[in-house]
Structure formats: C-alpha cells, structure tokens
Amino acid sequence: MKTNQLIYGLITAALCALVFHLDAQNPKGKFGTFALTNATVETVTKGTITNGTVIISQGKISAVGSGIPVPAGAEVIDCKGLLVYPGMIDGGTNLGLSEIGSDPRTQDFNEIGEMIPQMNALTAVNPNAVAIPITRVSGVTTVLAAPQGDLFAGTAALIHLQGYTPEQMYAGFQGVVLNFPNTGRRGFFDRRTDEEIKKGAENAQKRMSEIWDRAVQYSKIDSATKGKAGYYPEMQALLPVVRGERPLLIEANAAKDIQAALKWVKEKKIKNVVLTGVTEGWRVAEDIAKAKIPVIVGGVLNLPSRDYDRYDQAYANAGQLFKAGVKVAISSGETNNQNYRNLPYHAGFAVAYGMDKAEALKAITIVPAEIFGVADKTGSIEPGKDANLFVCDGDPFEPKTQIKQVFINGWQIPLVSRQTQLYDEFLKREPGVSKK
C-alpha cells in the first residue's frame, strides 16, 4: 500500500513537474482584474498622470487617474518608477501572413491577380506565427496585416496580437489595398529602362481606372437590383469602398505617384482614402494636406530615395508631413525581417530629426487608431477603451528601455518569445565546452 502510494506520489510529482515544465515553456496569458498603481500614465489623449492608477477589468480600461480605489480582488501591480503607454500600432505589416522571408511555402500575403480585393488577409493570419510573441513583448499590441502584390492586392485586416483564431485577433478594421502604379525603381536590382517603367505605369493606371469604373457601375446595379447584381466577388469586395464605408489604402511612394494618386482619387471622387508608404511625401506635403488624406509613413529608418537628396531626408519625412498639416501615422515597414518590434525606434528617429515627440508618439498609437476607425476602442489610455497597453521603465523610444508588462484586450501577456527562450537557455549553456 505504502509503495503504491509512493509510486502514485512520484507519478503525480513527475506529471506536475512535466506540466509545470511545459507551462514554463509556454506560459498562458491571464485574464482578470488588474490595478496598475503608482504609475506615470501617458494617456496620449488626456495628458500625463503622475502617480496614477489604471484599472483593467473584463478586458477594458475601467478607470484611469490618481487616487482611484483598487477594486476588491484586483491583482495589484506596483508600477512605481514605471510608465504606462497605450499599445503601439504598426499600420503596415504582413505579420501572421509570413513566416520565413525566402520561403514561398510560408508566405500568404501575395495572391495571384491584379484585381483581387476579395482576397482576405484575415483568413490567412496564422495566430501561432513565431513573430507574434516576438513583436508583442516589445509593446506593439496591434498591427495591420496587409496583403502585397499587384494593383488591387486584397483586403487588409487590423489584428491584436493576442488570440488563438483570426476571429479572436480581429481588431475591427478592414481596408482594401491598392498599389498605385509605381514609376520609381524597386531597388538597385530593378534594371528596367525609363521607358519600360513609364509604359508599365501608364498601362497599370489604365487598368486600375477600368476596374474602378466597373466597381462604380456594379455598385449602381447592386443598388438598383437590391443586392442581386450577381456573383462578382472582386466587385463585391470593392462595394464598401465605392460607398465610402471602407477605406482604400493606396500605396504610393514617388512624389509624382503620390500626386497622380491624389489626382485620381479626386477624379473618381473616392471618399475614404489612406495613403501608405509616402516615402517622398515631403516633396508634395502641401498637396496631401490640401486633399485632407491621412498617411501612414512606411518606415523612418530608410535611405533617401534620390542620390542628391539630403542624407537624413527619410528620417525627416514624417515630421515634415506633420508640419505641413497632414495627419501622420508611422509604421515600421520592416516586413522582410519581421522586425515590427522596431516601431518605437522609427518614431524615435523621426523625433531626433525634427518631429515633435508627442506627435511621434501619437503617430504610433492614437493616429493609426483614428485612421482605422477604432479610436473609440484603442490607441490611448482612457476609461471604456479596450485594455491594450504596456508598462515600461523609461522612454519607450529609447533602445535601453525595458518592457515590464503588456496587456492586450485585457489579457496580461507573458513576456516570453522564442527569442527570450533562447536567451534563457543559452546565456549560460549547460553543458559548456566539456562533454558532460
């Protein structure tokens, strides 16, 4: 009997150890009521609260301020000396749609066809992409998972970096991606002649206009037939865009492409437009401001786009656009490396080269939330909003700053990724050089 008990005990202990071990490898998020106390709260929209408290309850920020009572049963997290920020939003990624840059079998962001707005990024988001924890432990809680490709490349989706299904991750915004016909070179390897580039862009622009005109036509037929215009999936996907209910995210980078896009949007009377990329936005900043179209700058850490431009022109782009009166969000543009965790450094460089610091912070929090129409739910620390936030020990733009807590949809996210696990395993490797 005693031996049996001992064996059972040992088995239980072993099982517990195993479970505990697995737990340590892949710890789970935690949902509940939390009180972040004694914190400096950077609300972004309502100023800075010193010695403040943030209450997280049922997935929401339920209260923010100083001297707020801690609800019974709340887990108190003392944030003395720490700062609370809204989760950062990267408005231009392929996170979840790509695992390994050079392996097409792991990539789902580039479907075939030039008119495929019905291709839905959300359906291909892999909630278990290794890059998701790697991104969120750095305080980036929300990203736009966007398709790439030819003209109308598909429908992008805003996702929170928490959840086990695309539906759980979905953050309430979708938009159709249009790659505006490009007259710039794609890099040193682009060896097309000037004539080829020009011709290619002209043809593409013609096709783009045809597609749009058909979509407008389809919308009229759809209205007239009360939704019985027939099964034309690409036209149906453009319906909400034609009707202004869903934005067209137009990627344009060269100055004259941006101008051509503005002209095209005006001609076609497209109501809901966001410009993305806008590498040379500074050249035509006044035009963009006049058109009242918001932009998502695709990365600050970039080379100048022309060899005769000032060396720091890419760093200064976002700040110059803002100064001209454009609504500016900043994305990292770091798709090949899946390095969206560098988003705060892009914002930081914009500050180092002229952008106002508070505006740069807005450009990666509340402004993208506004552009995506989800500012009522996220993008700042305000009561009633979803609890997407992080806690850190200093200026989040500074590379030495450590992230101490991350909450997404009210879930306390374990600060573990494959990269931290490798650190834990290999900092002091056992065995070392000896074979034992």
The residues of the shown chain that bind other proteins, judged by CB under 8 A, are: 99-103, 130-131, 183-190, 194, 197, 253-256, 279-280, 299, 301-312, 333-339, 341-342, 345, 348-349, 351-353, 395, 397-402, 418-420, 422-423, 426-427, 429, 432-433
75/312 with CB nearer other proteins: 312
User: Bridge partners of 160?
Assistant: 142
Q: Are 52 and 294 in contact (CB under 8 A)?
A: no
CA distance 8 to 391: 44
Q: Are 49 and 43 in contact (CB under 8 A)?
A: yes
200/373 with CB nearer other proteins: 200
CA distance 52 to 24: 32
Asked if residue 383 has a cis previous peptide bond (ω within 30° of 0), the answer is: no
What is residue 231's DSSP assignment?
Answer: -
234/287 with CB nearer other proteins: 287
Q: Which long-range contacts (CB under 8 A, 24 or more apart) does 369-376 make?
A: 369/89, 370/294, 370/327, 371/91, 371/247, 371/274, 371/294, 371/296, 371/327, 371/329, 372/89, 372/91, 372/144, 372/158, 372/171, 372/172, 372/173, 372/175, 373/172, 373/173, 374/158, 374/171, 374/172, 374/173
Q: State in angstroms the smallest separation of the CB of 398 from other proteins.
A: 5
67/432 with CB nearer other proteins: 432
Q: State in angstroms the smallest separation of the CB of 138 from other proteins.
A: 8
Q: State in angstroms the smallest separation of the CB of 218 from other proteins.
A: 33
Q: State in angstroms the smallest separation of the CB of 415 from other proteins.
A: 12
CA distance 435 to 365: 50
Q: State in angstroms the smallest separation of the CB of 194 from other proteins.
A: 5
35/314 with CB nearer other proteins: 314
Q: Are 386 and 410 in contact (CB under 8 A)?
A: yes
Q: Is the dihedral of CA 155, 385, 59, 79 positive or negative?
A: positive
Q: State in angstroms the smallest separation of the CB of 5 from other proteins.
A: 43
Q: 132 by DSSP, 3-state: which?
A: helix
66/336 with CB nearer other proteins: 336
Q: State in angstroms the smallest separation of the CB of 197 from other proteins.
A: 8
Q: State in angstroms the smallest separation of the CB of 297 from other proteins.
A: 13
40/302 with CB nearer other proteins: 302
Q: State in angstroms the smallest separation of the CB of 342 from other proteins.
A: 7
CA distance 236 to 80: 53
Q: Token pair for residue 220?
A: 């009229």
5/193 with CB nearer other proteins: 193
Q: Are 209 and 264 in contact (CB under 8 A)?
A: yes
Q: Are 395 and 70 in contact (CB under 8 A)?
A: no
Q: 341 by DSSP, 3-state: which?
A: helix
197/216 with CB nearer other proteins: 197
319/410 with CB nearer other proteins: 319
Q: Are 107 and 145 in contact (CB under 8 A)?
A: no
Q: State in angstroms the smallest separation of the CB of 379 from other proteins.
A: 22
User: Bridge partners of 252?
Assistant: 277
114 Cβ neighbours under 8 A, 6+ residues apart:
149, 150, 151, 152, 204, 207
Q: State in angstroms the smallest separation of the CB of 1 from other proteins.
A: 49
240/298 with CB nearer other proteins: 298
